[in-house]
Chain A
Amino acid sequence: MIVGGPQVRPIGEGRPWTFYALGGLFGAYLLFLYGPMAVIYVLSFQGENGGVTFPMVGVSTVWFQDIVKPGQMANIPVSFGRSIGLAALVACITVVFAVAAGLGFRRRFPGSGVVFYMAVASLVMPGLLVGFGIGLGFQFLGLQTSLFTSALGAQLTWTLPFGLFAMFAVVNRFNRAWEEAATDLGASAWQRLRFVTLPILLPGILGVGMGALTLSYDEYARTTLTIGPLNTLPLEIYALISSATSPTLFAIGTLTTGVSFAILATTLVLVFRMQRRRSLALPEMS
C-alpha cells in the first residue's frame, strides 16, 4: 500500500488540467469497477417470480433461503465450511513460511537467486497447470488427492510467493536501527526477533495472513484438479454456473463478497488500531 508520496508542486494557483482529466478517468474507472457488481448485489434480492436480469419483480430474500435449503444440486454451506477451514490453514502456514523467508532474504545468500526465480515461476505459471502437475504427482505415487493434502499444497504454491513478495515490501520499510539498538543493549537473537522485529512488522504480517486467507478462499484454478471428491466453495459455484441460472447464484455472490469484506474490514480495523496505539505510545516512531 502507498504510504506518502512525492507531490508535484502546484504550478500557479489552481490545479492543472491534467488533474481534472485524470480525476475524471479515475471516477469512470470506479464506476466500471463497481457497476456490474452492484447489479448482482441488487439482483440477488430479486422477487420470487423474477429472473436473472432486470426488471426486479418485487424484493425478497427467497434466493438466500434457497442456498441453505437441503436437497440442492450444490451443497453451499458445507463447501463454505471446507473453504474456510482450508483458507485458515493456508493462511497460518503462509504467514510462518513467508515471514521467515522475507527475513532470510534481507541478506544475499548462496542460492537466493534460485529461490527467488522459483517463486516468480510459481506465481506466473498458469494455475491449472500447477494443479495438473500436482495431481499427476499424486497419481504416480498412488495417493488420493484431497482437501488437506494436494489442495493445500496447490494453494500454497500461490499464497507463498504472494506472501514472499508482500514481505519484501514490508521488510524494505523496516528500519534496521531498531535491531541494532536491541543488539547493542544485549538482546539475544531470539529476544531481538520476539520483542523487536516481529512486533514492528506485525501490521504487515497481519496483511500477509489476511491476503493469503482471501486468496485461498477464492482460488479455483489450482484447486480444481487437486481437490479430490469434496469441493471447496469456488468449485461448487463453478459447477453451479454451468447447471443453473437463477438469482441463487447472485445471492451466493453477495454472501461470499460479504465474507471477503468482513475479513478485509477486520484486518483494517486491527491494523489501524495497532498503528494508533503505537503513535500514541511512541510519537516519533513511524
Chain B
Amino acid sequence: MSGQHSLHAPFLGFSRWPRLAFPNIRLTPAMVSWLQVGPLALVLIALVALPAFLFLAVSFFDYDRTGIYPAFMLDNYADLLTTPATLRVYVSSLKLAGIVWAITLFLGFNIAWFLVFHVRNGMVRTVFFLACAIPFWTSGIIRTIAWIPFLGRNGAFNQALMSLGLTSQPLEFLLFSDFAVIITYVHLFTLLMVGPIANSMAKIDPALIEAAIDAGASRFKVMTNVVIPLSKTGIALGSILVFTQVMGDYFVVRQMSGGQSASIVSMLSTEIQAMQYPPASANAMVLVVFVAVMVGCMMRIVDIRKELVK
C-alpha cells in the first residue's frame, strides 16, 4: 500500500497532502477517504445494519395479542419453517423470479446488443437509450395499474384482438393471473438489465471483435466467445437487480394476481399489519439470508467490485 503510494504519490496529488484549518494536522490518504466516505457509511450503519440486528433480536422474542416480550426462543423460526405455506410461497416466488429473470435477460441482452453494436450514430443511440429509460421515471405504482385497463376483460388488448378477428370473445387469463404479474415485472424491470449490460458492452474494444472476425469467427462465435465473457459484469449486475426486485415485491403480486398469489414480502406485510413483529422478523431474517446467499453466489461468479471501482 505505502510502496504503491510513494511510487505514484506526485501523480495522485499527494505530494502535498490536504491540509485542514490547523496547518500542523496532516491527513493520510486513507484518512481523507474515510472523511469522504464517512457520512454515507454512518447512514448505512444506522439505518441498514443496526435495524437488521434489531430484527434479528426481535425474531427470537415472544409475543401475544397485546405485545412483544424479550426472550430467546426459536419458536418463530420453527413455526415459519414447518408451515407448508412458507415453502409454497418461496417456490412460487422463485419460479416467478426465474421466469422474469430469463425474459429480462433475453430482452436486455438483445436490446443492449442492438443499441451498442448496431446503432452507429451516437445521437440516435442516446435517443434510443432515453426512450428505454424514460418510463423508469414514472412511479412503479402507476406503471403497474397501467396494465389494468390494458389487460382487462374489456381492456384495450382484448378489444384489439377481437377487432382484428383473432379471438371471438375476450381472453380471461390476461388480468389477475400469474401472466399479468410476469408481464408487469418485465415491464418494470427490463431496464435494470439493459443498462448494466449495455454499459459493459460499450467498454468492449472493437479491435477484439474485428480480430475475432478476421480469425474466422462466425457471428454466433463472436457472441459466445468474445461479447458474453466481456459483458458478464453487466449480466451479473442486471441479474442481481432484477432478482432482488422480484423477491422484494409485494405490491405487483397483490395488485395483478387479484389476490390469488402471494409473495414472501406480501406475507410478511400481513404479519406486520397484525402487529406480529417476532414472526415477521423471523420471516424477514430468512428472506434476507436467502437473498444474501443468492446475491453472494452471483458475486462469486463475477467480481463486481473490481469492475465498478477501478
Do A and B interact with each other, yes or no?
yes
Write the residues of chain A forming the contact surface with B, with a CB cutoff of 8 angstroms: 1-9, 11, 15-16, 18-19, 22-23, 25-26, 29-30, 32-37, 39-40, 43, 52-54, 96-98, 100-101, 103-105, 107-113, 115-116, 118-130, 132-134, 136-137, 140, 153-154, 156-157, 160-161, 164-165, 168-169, 172, 176, 179-180, 182-183, 188-190, 192, 214, 217-218, 220-221, 225, 234, 237-238, 241, 249-250, 252-253, 256-257, 260-261, 263-264, 268
B142 in contact with A25 (CB, 8 Å): no
20 example contacts (A-B, Cβ-Cβ < 8 A) are as follows: A2-B198, A6-B201, A6-B204, A9-B210, A29-B107, A29-B132, A104-B34, A107-B12, A112-B33, A112-B37, A115-B44, A118-B49, A125-B248, A126-B247, A130-B47, A130-B48, A136-B58, A168-B308, A188-B19, A253-B139
A22-B113, A264-B134 given; A33·B187 CB < 8 A: yes
Known: A6-B206, A36-B147, A153-B43. 6 other contacts (CB 8 A): A1-B129, A120-B295, A123-B244, A133-B54, A140-B54, A261-B134
Which partner residue on chain B sits nearest A5 by CB separation?
Answer: B202
* Interface: B161 (CB within 8 A): no
Write the residues of chain B forming the contact surface with A, with a CB cutoff of 8 angstroms: 1, 11-13, 15-19, 29-30, 32-37, 39-41, 43-52, 54-55, 58, 107, 110-111, 113-118, 120, 122, 125-126, 128-132, 134-135, 137-143, 145-150, 152, 154-156, 159, 187, 190, 198-199, 201-202, 204-206, 209-210, 213, 219, 240-241, 244, 247-251, 255, 265, 268-269, 272, 277, 280-281, 284, 287-288, 291-292, 295, 299, 304-305, 308-310
Could you say which residues of chain B place their CB within 8 Å of the CB of A103? 36
A33-B132, A43-B149, A52-B149 given; A128·B142 CB < 8 A: no
A168 in contact with B309 (CB, 8 Å): yes
What's the least CB distance linking B139 to chain A, in Å?
4
Task: Compute how far the CA of A127 lies from the CA of B268 in the bound complex, rounded to whole angstroms.
Answer: 12
What's the least CB distance linking B131 to chain A, in Å?
6
Could you say which residues of chain A place their CB within 8 Å of the CB of B292? 121, 124
B114 in contact with A183 (CB, 8 Å): no
A110 in contact with B114 (CB, 8 Å): no
Could you say which residues of chain A place their CB within 8 Å of the CB of B310? 172
Could you say which residues of chain A place their CB within 8 Å of the CB of B122? 3-4
Task: Compute how far the CA of A115 lies from the CA of B37 in the bound complex, rounded to whole angstroms.
Answer: 8
A192 in contact with B138 (CB, 8 Å): no
Could you say which residues of chain B place their CB within 8 Å of the CB of A32? 187
B34 in contact with A125 (CB, 8 Å): no
A2 in contact with B51 (CB, 8 Å): no
**Option from B40, B110, B209 in Cβ contact (under 8 Å) with A160:** B40
Could you say which residues of chain B place their CB within 8 Å of the CB of A190? 18
Which partner residue on chain A sits nearest B194 by CB separation?
Answer: A29
Task: Compute how far the CA of A59 lies from the CA of B248 in the bound complex, rounded to whole angstroms.
Answer: 39
Task: Compute how far the CA of A2 lies from the CA of B128 in the bound complex, rounded to whole angstroms.
Answer: 11
A118-B44, A118-B48 given; A25·B111 CB < 8 A: yes
B48 in contact with A122 (CB, 8 Å): yes
B51, B187, B269 — most chain A CB neighbours (10 Å): B51
A29-B190, A118-B45, A225-B272 given; A126·B248 CB < 8 A: yes
A101-B37, A128-B250 given; A2·B44 CB < 8 A: no
Which partner residue on chain B sits nearest A11 by CB separation?
Answer: B213
A153 in contact with B46 (CB, 8 Å): yes
What's the least CB distance linking A252 to chain B, in Å?
8
What's the least CB distance linking A233 to chain B, in Å?
8
A98-B40, A183-B16, A241-B255 given; A124·B55 CB < 8 A: no
Which partner residue on chain A sits nearest B11 by CB separation?
Answer: A180
B51 in contact with A133 (CB, 8 Å): yes
What's the least CB distance linking B51 to chain A, in Å?
3
A100 in contact with B40 (CB, 8 Å): yes
B43 in contact with A97 (CB, 8 Å): yes
Task: Compute how far the CA of A260 lies from the CA of B126 in the bound complex, rounded to whole angstroms.
Answer: 19
Could you say which residues of chain A place their CB within 8 Å of the CB of B204? 5-6
Task: Compute how far the CA of A264 lies from the CA of B131 in the bound complex, rounded to whole angstroms.
Answer: 12
B240 in contact with A124 (CB, 8 Å): yes
**Option from B44, B118, B137, B308 in Cβ contact (under 8 Å) with A23:** B118
A53 in contact with B111 (CB, 8 Å): no
A113-B305, A241-B141 given; A53·B152 CB < 8 A: yes
Task: Compute how far the CA of A105 lies from the CA of B35 in the bound complex, rounded to whole angstroms.
Answer: 11
Which partner residue on chain B sits nearest A245 by CB separation?
Answer: B148
A26 in contact with B128 (CB, 8 Å): yes
What's the least CB distance linking A198 to chain B, in Å?
13
Task: Compute how far the CA of A11 lies from the CA of B210 in the bound complex, rounded to whole angstroms.
Answer: 11
A128 in contact with B248 (CB, 8 Å): yes
- List the 9 closest A-B pairs by CB distance, nearest first: A133-B51, A126-B248, A104-B36, A6-B206, A189-B18, A5-B202, A22-B114, A109-B33, A253-B142
**Option from A35, A133, A161 in Cβ contact (under 8 Å) with B55:** A133
**Option from A19, A26, A133, A160 in Cβ contact (under 8 Å) with B52:** A133
**Option from B34, B46, B287 in Cβ contact (under 8 Å) with A111:** B34
Could you say which residues of chain B place their CB within 8 Å of the CB of A4? 122, 202
B51 in contact with A130 (CB, 8 Å): yes
Task: Compute how far the CA of A252 lies from the CA of B138 in the bound complex, rounded to whole angstroms.
Answer: 12
